[in-house]
Chain A
Amino acid sequence: NAGVMQNPRHLVRRRGQEARLRCSPMKGHSHVYWYRQLPEEGLKFMVYLQKENIIDESGMPKERFSAEFPKEGPSILRIQQVVRGDSAAYFCASSPTGRSSPLHFGNGTRLTVT
């Protein structure tokens, strides 16, 4: 299966710890998007990256959250000093181009902060 791969599927962190979420896009896709979904809500855009560049981070909280998509390896969404409100499902999507191409989603990482 050459779909979008996210890991881990489930992640439990205590308040104050760091969470690292990884996303490998579909083969041939160089555009990655991160979304957050709270229980029983829709998906909210966080950040859009192309290889080594952040294109749009208008949905990212100003503090504690960062994202990268290095030349080699997966895209990483990092949450520092997690709080209970960070508990959510985080989805990664990828597309082959940056122009009106549909996004294909992974199965998400479910972060629980205790």
Chain B
Amino acid sequence: GQQLNQSPQSMFIQEGEDVSMNCTSSSIFNTWLWYKQDPGEGPVLLIALYKAGELTSNGRLTAQFGITRKDSFLNISASIPSDVGIYFCAGQLGGGATNKLIFGTGTLLAVQP
């Protein structure tokens, strides 16, 4: 099935560092979302983006919806140990039968105190 290309695959950083990850697609999406998944849990929604070019923040997290509608990035500033987890981007065409999400391959983030 279709998947989004997410990079990097994994990141190992020191506490306090900033983090950046991105997601690209060959298809256009109308909505981009970023989720975080902890071990043994379901994905938790972090940020939702609805318009091309939109830049949205949620605390230390900032995400942007690419102008081409084929990409998005997520930045985490001043990382802390509880940021550890797997981050997934997801694209959504929206509307009726296409409301399903297509997920990226994930970025594993490890933060060393």
Residues of B within 8 A of A6 (CB): 42
B61 within 8 A of A: no
Residues of A within 8 A of B97 (CB): 48, 55-56
> What distance in Å separates the Cβ of B84 from its nearest Cβ neighbour in chain A?
16
> What distance in Å separates the Cβ of B99 from its nearest Cβ neighbour in chain A?
5
Contact A100 B99 (CB under 8 A): yes
Residues of B within 8 A of A41 (CB): 105-106
* A48 CA to B104 CA, complexed, in Å: 19
Selected interface stretch from B52-60, B72-80, B88-96 = B88-96
Selected interface stretch from A13-21, A70-78, A103-111 = A103-111
Selected interface stretch from B14-22, B43-51, B62-70 = B43-51
Query: With A91-B43, A102-B48 known to touch, is A45 a contact of B88 (CB < 8 Å)?
Result: no
Contact with B along A85-104 (1 / 0, CB 8 A): 00000010101001111111
Query: With A44-B1, A45-B102 known to touch, is A99 a contact of B96 (CB < 8 Å)?
Result: yes
* A103 CA to B100 CA, complexed, in Å: 9
B-contacting residues, A54-71, CB 8 Å: 55-56, 59
Among the listed A31, A98, A105, which residue makes an inter-chain contact with B44, where contact means beta carbons less than 8 Å apart?
A105
* A95 CA to B33 CA, complexed, in Å: 14
B interface residues, tally (CB under 8 Å) = 29
Residues of A within 8 A of B3 (CB): 42, 44
> What distance in Å separates the Cβ of A35 from its nearest Cβ neighbour in chain B?
8
A43 within 8 A of B: yes
> What distance in Å separates the Cβ of B7 from its nearest Cβ neighbour in chain A?
13
> What distance in Å separates the Cβ of B72 from its nearest Cβ neighbour in chain A?
14
> What distance in Å separates the Cβ of A59 from its nearest Cβ neighbour in chain B?
6
Interface residues of B (CB under 8 A from A): 1, 3, 30-31, 33, 35, 40-45, 48, 50, 88, 92, 94-106
Q: Which 8 A-B pairs have the closest CB atoms?
A: A105-B42, A100-B94, A42-B103, A43-B103, A107-B42, A56-B97, A98-B99, A45-B100
